[in-house]
Structures are given as structure tokens and as C-alpha cells.
Amino acid sequence: MISSIQRYINEVNNENALDQNGIEEIRIKYLGKKGILNELFEQFKTIPNSEKKETGVYLNELKTAVQNKLLILKESIGSDELNLASDKDLTQPVDFNLNGARHPLSIVRNQIVQIFQGIGYSISEGPEIEDDWHNFSALNFPQDHPARDMQDTFFIEKNPDIALRTHTSSVQVRIMEKTPPPIRTISPGRVFRNEAISARAHCIFHQVEGLYIDKNVSFAELKQTLLYFAREMFGEHTQIRLRPSYFPFTEPSAEMDISCNICGGSGCNICKHTGWVEILGCGMVDPNVLENCGIDSKQYSGFAFGMGIERITMLKYQIKDLRLFFENDIRFLQQFETFI
Ligand code: PHE
């Protein structure tokens, strides 16, 4: 029996196959139900016990030889298939992975910044953790003004003089304190208010506020600057209207609406059928604020405005729920400008 096993071992080593079918044939020939190995194991049962040990060694050798042969053949055919694949044109440019998209709030912030940079505004930034002076007092908020209330502002418990800024007007105070006029600057940044999170409000949002201080600055210039901004942002047919309003730091103060960019002013559910949507607050800087910051209010006047980036973005892209901006769901984010 041993010599016939040795013959099979030789035979296995000389086996060859051209493709997967050939390999399968060899497998069945040796390892199949009625294959050579099963046949030999049947015979093995019948030989005298004294021969079993040695014969067993040869049988195992045959089995290993078959398994190795099958492995080798599989590998060589696999690499043939690879060679076939290399017939493809490897000089073709590859498909790039799209690996990111700019956040819609960043896109719109950059647009706002670019529009104002184009008419000579610089960009200023300041701390998100502020003191009472820069966030409120310098801006002419009376001590008992409701906006200082715990409802709206995140204070630091141990020191109520410190708070998370509620607007980026605080940055403008810092600029006025250290820069002699003329001043023309915008301050984009993150602001915080103690609001319940809903589709229309969040405790964190983003603003761009603007400030212009020089001799003889007039309300007409404010209006024209904002009209220019609205048309650059929402299209050349955009109309604006100013409604009287109140802010402690501006006098007179106004809120600005633009003609609804969805229906063009004829009325839809975005503008609640009024044809107008509010986008920002503005006004002439109160002389008290100028004086608080060391600027002579008899020589200088100025205007200021402030807008929420979320609100502008929602209008621009018709996004109905503010919470989408903070969830970072990739399916949402990829709908805007993508880059590689
Ligand atoms: N600071 C105001 C706010 O956060 C916006 C504003 C800025 C209004 C400048 C008037 C002038 O709501």
C-alpha cells in the first residue's frame, strides 16, 4: 500500500490546472467522496495493525500534498486574473474620493465677510467669554435691563461679572476702545443665549455685526450700505425696508426686512404672506456708547448693524429647522459646496 501512496504523491506533485475548473477536478479526484484519499482510508482499515503506523504517515503526507497543490494552483490562477486586469489603462485618472463639504454656515459667513471686505471693512474678532462692561455696560444697557437677566445670558456662577457673550457688539467695544476713528469693521463670531432649543432658536448661534465710525456719518449711508449688502447677498432685485425699533446702543434704531427672496414679495409661507422677512438690527451708534469707549461724540458719529448667520442661511437655502446646523448629519452637509 505504501508504494501506491508514494506513486500518488508523485502524481499530485505533477498535477496542473489551467483554470478554476481544472483545480476543482483535481480536488474531486483526490478529496471527493469517491476520491483517491477516501478509497485509501478504506483500504487502511483492512491492513494489519503492525503496518498502520508507517502507512498512516504516508497517507497524511499525501493529504498535505493535495492541499498544498490546490493552494499553489489557486494562487497562480489568481495572479493570472490579476495580469488580465492590468490590461486596463492604468494611465487613466482615478476617481477622487469626495472627503468633505463646507458647512453652510461657513459658506454664508464667508459670503457676508467678502461683501463687506469689498467695500473696505476689516475683520475683527474677540473673546467668547466676556465681562459685563464689554457685553452690556459700555453698550449703554441700564443696570436693570431685561437682557442682562439670567433668562438670556449664561453667567459664570462664581462671578456674575463674567458671561458668555450674547452678541459680537462686545468686539466692537474692544475695537472702539483701542482704535481712533475712522473705524470700519465687521465682527463675525459665535454667540450664546440661554434659550430653549427649537426649530427657530438655539442657545449657540453665529452673528456678523458691523460698525462704521467717522465724521458726519449719516443714516442715509447706513441705509445705502445695507441695501448694497442685501442685493449682493440675495440678488439685485431685492428691496429693503427699515422699521423703527429699539436697542440700548443705537439711536435711532431700526430692524431691516428684505423683500421675500422666495416669492419675490407676492406672499408665501416663508414670509407669512407679508412679502417681507426680517434679517437684521441696526441704527446710529448712541453717543453714550462712543463716549464710553473714549470717542468724542461731538466730532464723530457712526452706524452699527448686526445679523444672525443662521437666519440668513435658512433664507438663502430654505432650511426650515435650525437644529440641522448643529447635528452634522453628513447627508445634510453634503448638499452644499463640496470640495476634495
Ligand atoms: N447686537 C444686536 C443683537 O445682537 C444687533 C444689533 C447690532 C442691532 C448693531 C443694532 C446695531 O441683536
Domain ranges of the chain: 2-85, 102-339
CA 204 – ligand 1 centroid, Å: 16
Would you state the pLDDT for residue 87? Answer: 66
Whether the pLDDT of residue 297 is over 90: the answer is yes
Answer yes or no: is the C-beta of 311 below 6 A from any ligand 1 atom: no
User: Distance from the CA of 255 to the center of ligand 1, in angstroms?
Assistant: 9
Residue 330 has pLDDT above 60, yes or no: yes
pLDDT tens figures, 107-135: 999 999 999 999 999 999 999 999 999 99
State the closest ligand 1 atom to the C-alpha of 169, by its place in the atom list counted from 1: 1
Torsion of Cα atoms, 145 then 149 then 155 then 158, to 10°: 100
Question: Does the structure show a pLDDT above 80 at 78?
Answer: no
User: Is residue 143 over pLDDT 90?
Assistant: no
User: Is any atom of ligand 1 closer than 6 Å to the C-beta of 282?
Assistant: yes
Report the share of the chain in percent with pLDDT over 70: 94
For ligand 1, atom 4: residue with the closest CA: 167
Q: Is 116 in the pocket of ligand 1 (CB under 6 A)?
A: no
Residue 93: band (very low, low, confident or very high) from pLDDT cuts 50, 70, 90: confident
The mean-pLDDT minimum among 223-232, 258-267, 318-327 falls in: 258-267
Angstrom distance (rounded) from CA 11 to CA 23 = 14
Q: Is 111 exposed, middle or buried (0-12, 13-18, 19+ CB in 10 A)?
A: middle
Pocket test for ligand 1, best of 152, 167, 229 (most atoms within 8 A of CB): 167
pLDDT of residue 84 exceeding 60 = no
Q: What value does the mean pLDDT take over residues 35-54?
A: 90
The answer to whether residues 112 and 176 touch, using CB atoms and an 8 Å cutoff, is no
What's the 166 CA to ligand 1 centre distance in angstroms? 10
Arithmetic mean of pLDDT, 245-250 = 95
Residue whose Cα lies nearest atom 6 of ligand 1: it is: 306
- Reading the block at residue 245, the C-alpha cell is 425699533
User: Average pLDDT, whole number, for the chain?
Assistant: 90
- CATH superfamily for 102-339 is Bira Bifunctional Protein; Domain 2 (3.30.930.10)
What does the block give as the cell for 50? 503492525
State pLDDT tens for residues 277-294.
999 999 999 999 999 999
pLDDT at residue 83, as a whole number? 54
> What confidence score (pLDDT) does residue 332 get?
92
Report cis status (omega within 30 of 0) of the bond before 182.
Answer: yes
pLDDT at 189: 97
Q: What does the buried/exposed string (b/e) look like for 223-236 if buried means 16 or more CB atoms within 10 Å of the residue's CB?
A: bebbbebbbbbbee
**Dihedral angle sign, alpha carbons of residues 196, 323, 207, 282:** negative
Summarize the confidence of residues 211-240 as an average pLDDT. Answer: 97
State the Cα angle at 198 between 192 and 200, rounded to 5°: 80
For residues 77 and 82, the model is more confident at 77
Cα 306 to averaged position of ligand 1 atoms, centre (Å): 4
Ligand 1 atom 2: residue of nearest CA: 306
> In the chain, pLDDT over 90 holds for what percent of residues?
59
Band of residue 80 on the pLDDT scale cut at 50, 70, 90 = low
Q: Region 170-189: what's the mean pLDDT?
A: 97
Helix locations, the chain, DSSP H: 2-14, 20-31, 36-46, 49-85, 104-118, 132-135, 169-178, 219-234, 287-292, 309-317, 324-327, 330-333
CB of 8 closer than 6 angstroms to any ligand 1 atom: no
167 Cβ inside 6 Å of ligand 1: yes
Whose alpha carbon is nearest atom 10 of ligand 1?
A: 282
- Residue 96 pLDDT exceeds 90: no
Q: With 70 as the cut, is the pLDDT of residue 339 above it?
A: no
Flag whether the pTM goes above 0.75.
Answer: no
pLDDT of 92 reads 80
